[in-house]
């Protein structure tokens, strides 16, 4: 069973892609809605909450956990992988959503942490929309620059957007907010059309159409859920010991630390909520 964790409901965009790409795998989704959004927390609490959630999923039988939250992955993933995991679950693994996107932007695999002279630059201008914490971490900026220094990234924080989506804000309010952040990001770059846009929060694909309306038609919006699903499928090919394929009937479960009834605001962003949430404590 594979665990998928997000501070709230944005990780459902990743889970949906994983479910489609890996039809024989079982999944356990955990949304920490009671303490969301993480983008408003300090780094100490983000690390503590993320570690607690990963521990819960591993105690629940997940040997592999995907942190489907850019804020948590940017702030906490490295510490969890390098310090906490070897001490507590040395035979388990934790992956994040940041690595596949960095690989896509840089055009090289993650283990290539420096450029080669024969590398072909795929994207020269990129605009990144993310939570304030993801922007402050500079994780995308630094990791892409190591591998593709010719790629220029404009970072734009969208404070409160994940919360607006969770709470079911009106289409007009979301459209106005996204148009404002897009204008702010590109205001000093008149005439320069970004080659690509990164929706660097897993909530943001739920309003992808509004980002598309605010951006230039030639700007490609990269799909983080699809990239993560492709990366995990490749990982399981290389590490089949972490796959649950063929180990009984498939199951997909949904847990929240919050109140399941309050998640109805998401219904209009998705064709259907993928399953019934059950409440849990960590």
Residues 21, 27, 32, 33: is their CA dihedral positive or negative? positive
- State the catalytic residue, choosing from 62, 151, 158, 201: 201
| CA proximity to 180, closest of 232, 129, 229 | 129
Cβ-contact 204, 47 below 8 angstroms:
no
Residue 33 DSSP symbol? G
d(CA 213, CA 90): 46
151 is catalytic: no
Measured distance CA(240)–CA(157) in Å, rounded? 38
C-alpha 59 chain-centroid distance:
23
Q: Is 69 a catalytic residue?
A: yes
What does DSSP assign to residue 50? H
> What b-and-e string marks burial along 83-110, b requiring 16 or more CB atoms within 10 Å of the CB?
ebbeeebeebbbbbbbbbbbbbbbbbee
Return the bridge partners of 278, or none.
255
Distance (Å, whole) CA 39 – CA 268: 23
Looking at residue 223, the DSSP 8-state letter turns out to be -
Q: What share of the chain is helix, strand, coil (3-state, %, to 5)?
A: 50, 15, 35
What residues act catalytically?
A: 69, 201
């Amino acid at each position: 069973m594979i665990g998928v964790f997000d501070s709230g409901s944005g990780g459902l965009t990743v889970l949906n892609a994983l479910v489609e790409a890996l039809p024989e795998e079982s999944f356990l989704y955990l949304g920490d809605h009671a303490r969301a959004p993480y983008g408003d927390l300090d780094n100490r609490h983000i690390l503590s909450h993320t570690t607690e959630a990963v521990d819960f999923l591993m105690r629940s039988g997940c040997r592999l956990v995907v942190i489907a939250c850019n804020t948590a992955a940017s702030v906490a993933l490295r510490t969890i992988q390098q310090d906490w995991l070897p001490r507590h679950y040395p035979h388990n693994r934790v992956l994040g959503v940041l690595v596949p996107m960095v690989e896509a932007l840089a055009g090289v695999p993650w283990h290539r942490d420096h450029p080669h002279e024969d590398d072909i630059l795929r994207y020269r201008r990129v605009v990144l929309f993310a939570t304030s914490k993801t922007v402050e971490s500079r994780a995308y900026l630094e990791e892409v620059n190591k591998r593709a220094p010719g790629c220029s990234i404009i970072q734009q924080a969208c404070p409160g957007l994940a919360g607006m989506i969770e709470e079911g804000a009106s289409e007009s309010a979301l459209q106005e907010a996204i148009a404002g952040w897009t204008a702010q990001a590109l205001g000093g770059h008149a005439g320069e059309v970004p080659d690509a846009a990164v929706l660097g929060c897993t909530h943001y694909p739920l309003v992808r159409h509004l980002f598309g309306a605010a951006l230039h038609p030639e700007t490609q919006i990269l799909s983080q859920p699809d990239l993560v699903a492709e990366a995990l499928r490749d990982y399981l090919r290389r590490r089949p010991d972490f796959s649950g394929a063929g180990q009984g009937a498939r199951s997909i479960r949904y847990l929240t630390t919050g109140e399941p009834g309050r998640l109805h605001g998401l219904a209009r962003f998705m064709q259907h909520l993928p399953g019934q949430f059950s409440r849990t404590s960590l």
